[in-house]
Amino acid sequence: MTEIDQDRVLIFDTTLRDGEQSPGATMTHEEKLEIAEMLDDMGVDIIEAGFPIASEGDFRAVSEIAKRSKNARICGLARANPADIDRAWDAVKHARHSRIHTFIGTSPLHRAIPNLTQDEMAERIHETVTHARNLCDNVQWSPMDATRTEWDYLRRVVEIAIKAGATTINIPDTVGYTAPVESADLIRRLIAEVPGGDEVVFATHCHNDLGMATANALAAVEGGARQIECTINGLGERAGNTALEEVVMALKVRNDILPWNTAVDTRKIMAISRRVATVSGFPVQFNKAIVGKNAFAHESGIHQDGMLKNAETFEIMRPEDVGLMSSNLVMGKHSGRAALRDKLHQLGFEVGDNQLKDVFVRFKELADRKKEVYDEDIIALMHAGEESENDRLKLRHLRVVCGTDSPQSAELTLEIDGEEKQITATGDGPVDASFNAVKMLHPHNAHLQLYQVHAVTEGTDAQATVSVRMEEHGVIATGQSADTDTVVASVKAYIHALNRLLVRRGKMGEGADAKEISYKDVS
């Protein structure tokens, strides 16, 4: 077995698997490929690309990510049965470096679900890990809800998995129950007391239910874990997972007391954080560590005075370290294509000539409406859901009437399958009226799960970024758009989500993007 590098912590990103389990965070096939490419490019060691047996869409995404991977090891998740493991292997086997990750719930509560005795579960672990190792030379095994599993039984099943050929043992805090001192001690004891424990990589997978995911993950590293499982922005079900940006920057900034290194290029953190927030429909809270809008903002007079004299007075890391530009160059209607291309490059966007031409037109339109165009405006412009030639629904005209005295109404013209249709509708406010007009022109049963509006920058001429999440018969789609007119941005986002639902509805016969089995209770 390869000697474990004790100075190195492997970063295992599960944004595309555990992160996507957040209700409403489902990504399209193309978005998954894009995020995987960004993760690979930033230096993530292992990408858990999905749960291949969950659906045909998940299988296709994992398989395509495996084929396209350049450096990262591509991992597929599998429950403790041969069919899951075979499906995972079929999806990841084309990767340059592949991994099968199989798991089973070992705590008393989780053992009760399949109604297995301790001995029966131990036998299943031996059989399934052996089966996985016969297919792939890199196998990860997880005892789900490990932190609530009896110590003697946890030690027993970890030993079984190691003897069966597991090369990585992941210890999940599935419900965010543990605390840092316990997290470190658990890993330390397993390495010391389980035969072969010092010859495999121990990993930590923490949830944030009590707000301690990052602390628990770093404590596990101190206890001897050499792999951290995490997600971009801490995305994940309930309170989320350990945030990749937090553990990576903690190891970088406090390397004096956390003397371990990662291979992550931290300068790429902001770009992928913004992209994941956009495609998932989960905005980053303003005061979120590392990637929040206020993470490098200073309003207090004392803080501002200190920053002007010496930035290190109130900043423990440089904005540039996580991919933020030190200067926010304002652009306007007189800026040319070359300046826009250079600005996009600084912001992490590489565009071809045709895409630049399209973006430049939209940039000029925005610059005509805004006196000053900031970095955030350009990022919103790039990430906004724009019309595609294949969209069945397209906004052509919108006029709203609102106020305290007159009824709120919306006059809407949509192009539906190439034919323009017009209607006027009323509602409880201009946005409600506009959404009612869309539904009258395009009847549907989709339920609006989420409607969020965020100002991109300050000022009354700021762009509004709108996120919409729609659910129809168990299929979820998100839509985003940005505009200086909040109502227009809202309608564009609503239509964007409906177009994505129409695409998924057309693919349901193939099983694409459909959740055919439950993701519940997965590490």
Pick out the residues of the known binding site for Mn(2+): 18, 205, 207, 241
Give the span between the Cα atoms of 365 and 79, in whole angstroms. 51
Query: Which of 257, 236, 260, 237 minimizes the C-alpha distance to 248?
Result: 260
Contacts 24+ apart (CB under 8 A), 356-361: none
Give the span between the Cα atoms of 520 and 523, in whole angstroms. 9
Strands (DSSP E) contained in 163-233 are 168-173, 201-206, 227-230
Report yes or no: 300 and 272 within 8 Å, Cβ to Cβ: no
Give the span between the Cα atoms of 323 and 494, in whole angstroms. 31
Give the span between the Cα atoms of 47 and 27, in whole angstroms. 16
Give the span between the Cα atoms of 114 and 112, in whole angstroms. 6
Binding residues: 18, 205, 207, 241
Output DSSP code: residue 3.
P
- Sign of the torsion formed by the C-alpha atoms of 348, 353, 358 and 364: positive
Give the span between the Cα atoms of 228 and 169, in whole angstroms. 11
Give the span between the Cα atoms of 279 and 20, in whole angstroms. 10
- Residue recorded with tokens 């998100």: 478
Contacts 24+ apart (CB under 8 A), 29-33: 29/57, 29/60, 29/61, 29/64, 29/512, 29/513, 31/279, 32/61, 32/65, 33/61, 33/64, 33/65, 33/68
Give the span between the Cα atoms of 487 and 484, in whole angstroms. 9
- Sign of the torsion formed by the C-alpha atoms of 273, 277, 280 and 283: positive
